[in-house]
Amino acid sequence: MTTASDTGPAAPEVVLAARNIGKIYGSTHALKGVNFDIRRGKVTTLFGENGAGKSTLMKILSGVATPTSGTILLDGAPVTFVSSTDARDRGVSIIHQELSLAPNLSVRDNIFMGRELRTATGGVDFAEEARQAAALMADLEEDMDPLTLVEDLRLGQQQIVEIARALSVNSRILIMDEPTSALSATEVHVLFKVIRDLTSRGVSIVYISHHLEEALQITDHAVVLRDGAITAAADRKDIDLAWIVRNMVGENFDLGSPPSGYEFGKVALTIEDLSVPDASGSDASAVDRLSLSVRAGEIVCIYGLMGAGRTELLETVAGRVAPSGGRVLLEGEDVSRLSIAERIDKGLVLVPEDRQRDGLVQTMSVGSNLSLPSIGDFVRGLLLSPRRERTLVDGSIRDVHIKTAGGEAPIGSLSGGNQQKVVIGKMLTTNPKVILLDEPSRGIDVGAKAEVFRLLAERATRGLAVVFSTSEVAECLSIAHRIIVMSRGKISAEFGADVAKEQIMAASGEAVVA
Amino acid sequence: MTSPNPPRSRSGLLADGFDIGRLLLEGRAFFALIAIIIVFSILSPYYFSLGNFLTMASHVAIFGILAVGMLLVILNGGIDLSVGSTLGLCGVIAGFLMQGVPLPMFGVALFPPVWVVAVLVCALGAVVGLVNGVLIARFKVPAFVATLGVMYVVRGLALLLTNGLTYNNLAGKADLGNTGFDWLGFNRLAGVPIGVVVMAVIAILGSMMLNRSPFGRWLYASGGNERAAELSGVPVKTVQVTVYMLSGVCAAITGLILSSQLTSAGPTAGNSYELTAIAAVVIGGAALSGGRGNIRGTMLGAFVIGFLSDGLVIIGISSYWQTVFTGAVIVLAVLLNAIQYRRRVKRPDSTGGQPASPQPSGQASPAYPTHEKTAA
C-alpha cells in the first residue's frame, strides 16, 4: 500500500548524507564507518536493536553530538553542526523519544519555546502564537486548546505537542525517534497522514521505531543498523517484516510459544469487580468493574491500546493505587487492604512499565537493585550478611541471564534489555506466586524480548502465575495461554492462544490497518 | 560490602591504574583536611599538637553529630533546617530539668538524675523529628518548608520557656543526686573528650546502619528513587519519618554536649548550626538530590570545617574572613561534587573514563531516569 509513493522521479535526490561516520564513547565504538542517505521527500526508516547505534547516528545528524570521524554532507557540501540549534537553523530538526516539554507551560508556550514571536514593541505576540499553535493542532487533527497546560495532557497528546513543535520550524529534514511510543492507533494514523503530507511537500523524514509493523506502513526506504554498522538497506517494495528482523538480529526470530506439558495449579490471583477512578479526577473509571482469575502456571496477556486501563489495573492489583471498588484475592485470601510491601511478602509482585522511573534506583549498583525487595531476608541478628546477599545476587544474575561486569557494576552501565532483566530478576528473588508485568518489552530489543519471554515461560512451568500487558499483537501470540483484550477499562474479549491477530485488534477497538 | 558508592570508586581506581586527577577528586575532603593541617602547622607553632587537635575535635563533635543526622535526611533526598533550633530547645529543657521541676500540688520539686534528663531530652528531639517527618511523609509538605516552619516554632518555644534568659546553673547538687551534667562537656576518656567519643560512637553506629542494615539499604534506595523503592516493598514513609527522628535525636545529643561544654543553656544556642551541618555533609561528597553519600565523607567534611575555622582563629584572622573562607570551601566542594557526578553519569560503561566532550548534557546518559529506553 505504501509503494505507491515510490513511483516518483527515478533517483531521489539525497539532501543529507553521512559519510563514513564513526563515533567512539570511551572504549565503545558506537558507530563504525556508517554511510547513511536521507532522500528528499521520502521516509527513510532506521531499524536496529537497542545499542545498535540508531540514536547516536541521529544525534550526530541533528547536531546534538559530534562524530569522532567522517563527514556530513548537506546538499552535497560538507557541514559541521555546532549544536542542535545550528542544525535546526539549517533545516534539520529532531523529535527525541524522551519528551522535552516544560509541563508547567501551555501548549502554545511549549511550541514556541526559545523562539517566541515578537510584537512591534518587543513583547511576546501571544495572539499570533496561539493562532499558529491552533493551526498546527488542526493539521494534526488534535482537539487541543493551545492554552492547556502540558502537564494536564495525556502522554500521547504531549507527544503530539512535541511533533507540532518540530513542524512549526518548517524543517526540511525531520528526524523522529520513536514518535509513536505513546500514541493511540488513531493518533498514529493522523501522524502518518501528516508525514505523508510533509513528504509530498518535499520534507524528508527519518523515522525510528520499535514497532516494526507500524514503521513498515510509513517507510519508503529501510535501513538496518546492527552493532554500529549498516547491515542492509532496501526500498519498501523489496522487503517485509521478516527481512527487517532477520537483518536486525542476524537470524530468524521467534518470541516463543505457550509452555505446555503440565497442568495449571489452583487459582492464584482473583480480581473481583475491580474499579479504579481515572487519575484525572473525572467521573470516568480507568478500570470498570473488571473481574479476572489466573491459575498457577498460567500465562495471561492483557492487550489494549494506550488508555485502555491496563496500567491502572496492574498498579491497583499490586497496591500502588487504591481501588474505588472490588477486591483482589491471592490464593483465596483478600489482599485488597494490604500495602505494597505486604503484598510482596504474600507473593504478589509488579514489574512496572517505566523501569527508569519506577523500576530501578540509578544511584545503586546492579546487586543492590537486585537484592532490594528481599533485603530483609539476609539479616543475621541486626546486620545484613554480605555473603548471603552476594550469593543471591550472583544467583539472580545467572538465573535471568543479566549481562553485567558483576553485582558491583553501576546500573547505568547495562543496556536497556539487561536493565529490564534486573527489574524482573529483583522481583523474582522474592519467590512470588503471581507476577504482574506492565509492558515488559517496552523499549527493549527483539533479542532481549525473546529472552524475557523465555524466562517467564520457564517460571510458569514451575507454577508461577504470569500476567503481562502489551500493546504489540505479536507479543500476545507468543507465550500467553490466554489473551485478554481491554478496552475502556473493561474486558472486551478473551481468546485462547490460537487466535488471529486481526481478531485481537478488532476487539481492542483498533482499526485493522495491517 | 559497603555503601553503593565507595566500592565503585575504589575498584575504579584500581582498574584504571593511578589516575591522580580522579584520586584527588574522589578523596578531596581527605586531601583538603591534610592541606589545612599542613598550612596551619606552618603558620602557627601551636596548631600541630595533640592537645590542640583534641580541643579542635571537641568543637568538631558539635557539628559532626549534627551532620550525621543531617546526612541521613539528605540521603533520603530531604533537608532538615530545624536541627539548630532543636539543639537550642533541648539544651534549654535540659537546663530547666536541672533546676528541678516544681510540683505545686505536692509542694515539692522533682530533681531528675542526669541520665533521666538526657533520655528525656533525646526523646524530645525525636518528637520534634517526628513532627517534621509526619509533615513531610504524611502531609506532603516539602521538606525545606516543613523544617523551616518547625525551626521557627521550636526556637520560639525555647525563647518563651526561658523568657529569653539563659540557665547558668547546670551543676546540680550532690545531695539531690543530680550532679554530673558537666561530664559530657569536660570529662575525658583516655584523654579524649567525651564529646569526641560520643561522635565516634554515633559515626560508627551510623555507618553500620547505612552499610550493613536493611534500613540503610532502604534509605539509599528511597533517596535514589522513591517510586522504585516503594514498588520494591520498601516502607518509604516509615524510612522518611525515621530519618527525621534520628536527626532530631542527634540534635538533642548535640544540645546536651554543647550546654555541658558551655556550662549554660541558652535559648539561642545552635543558631544557624543547621547550615554548618549541611555544609559538612556537602563537603563530604553527598548529593543533595539524595541517594549518594556516606558517613566517612561527612565526618571528613565536619573536620574540614572545624579545623579550618579553629586554624583561622589560632593564626588570628578576623572572624569576618573566617566566614568568607568557610563559604568559599563550601562552594568549591559543591563544584567538585558536580564534576564528580557528571563524570560518573557520562561514563557509558564501567570500562573507564571518557574524555570530556563539548556537550556535557546532550549525550550518553545511561544514568538519567528519562533518557534510557533506547540508548541506541
Interchain contact, A410 vs B214, CB within 8 Å: no
Q: Is B18 exposed, middle or buried (0-12, 13-18, 19+ CB in 10 A)?
A: exposed
> What are the cell numbers at A30?
558506537
Enumerate the residues of chain B whose CB falls inside 8 A of the CB of residue A379: 213-214
Chain B hits for A410, CB-CB cut-off 8 Å, are: 8, 344, 350, 367
Query: Is the CB of B228 less than 8 angstroms away from the CB of A360?
Result: yes
Sheet holding A325-330, edge to edge: A285-295, A267-277, A325-330, A333-334
B182 with B168: CB under 8 angstroms? Answer: no
CA distances from A500 to A453, A471, A495 (A): 20, 15, 9
Distance of CA A408 to the CA centre of its chain: 28
Chain A contacts of B218, Cβ < 8 Å? 375
ipTM: 0.77
Cα–Cα distance measured from residue B360 to residue B166, given in angstroms and rounded to the nearest whole number: 54
* Gap from B239 CA to chain A (nearest CA, Å): 13
- Calculate ∠ Cα A85-A90-A93, nearest 5°: 60
Nearest Cα of chain A lies from the Cα of B153 at a distance, in angstroms, of: 33
Q: Which has the higher per-residue pLDDT, A476 or B75?
A: B75
pTM of the model: 0.76
Residuewise pLDDT in 10s, chain A (514 residues): 434 444 444 456 889 999 999 988 655 677 888 999 999 999 999 988 766 788 889 889 988 888 889 999 998 899 998 888 888 888 898 887 777 788 899 999 998 888 888 888 888 889 999 999 999 888 888 788 889 898 888 777 887 888 888 888 878 899 998 887 777 777 788 888 888 988 988 889 999 887 777 888 899 999 998 878 888 888 888 888 878 877 876 654 577 888 888 999 999 999 999 999 876 555 678 888 999 999 999 999 998 876 788 889 999 999 988 899 899 999 999 999 999 999 999 999 999 988 888 999 988 999 999 999 988 888 877 788 888 889 999 999 998 888 888 888 888 878 778 888 999 999 999 999 999 999 888 767 777 888 889 999 999 999 999 999 987 777 888 889 999 998 888 898 899 888 877 777 777 765 433 3
Q: Give the residue from chain B lying closest to A51, CA to CA.
A: B376
- Closest-CA distance of chain A to residue B299, Å: 21
Locate A77 and state its grid cell.
Answer: 557540501
CB-based contact A18:A35 (threshold 8 Å): yes
Residue in A406, A399, A307 with CA at minimum distance from that of residue A366: A406
Contact flag A25-B1 (C-beta cutoff 8 Å): no
Closest C-alpha among A231, A88, A70, A246 to residue A172? A88
**Cα dihedral A213, A230, A223, A236 sign:** negative
**Which chain A residues touch B234 with a CB distance below 8 Å?**
341, 372
When scoring B212, B349, B357, B368 by the number of chain A Cβ atoms within 10 A, the one with the most, hence best to mutate, is B349
Cβ(B260)–Cβ(B181) below 8 Å? yes
Out of A410, A412, A426, closest to residue B232 by CB: A426
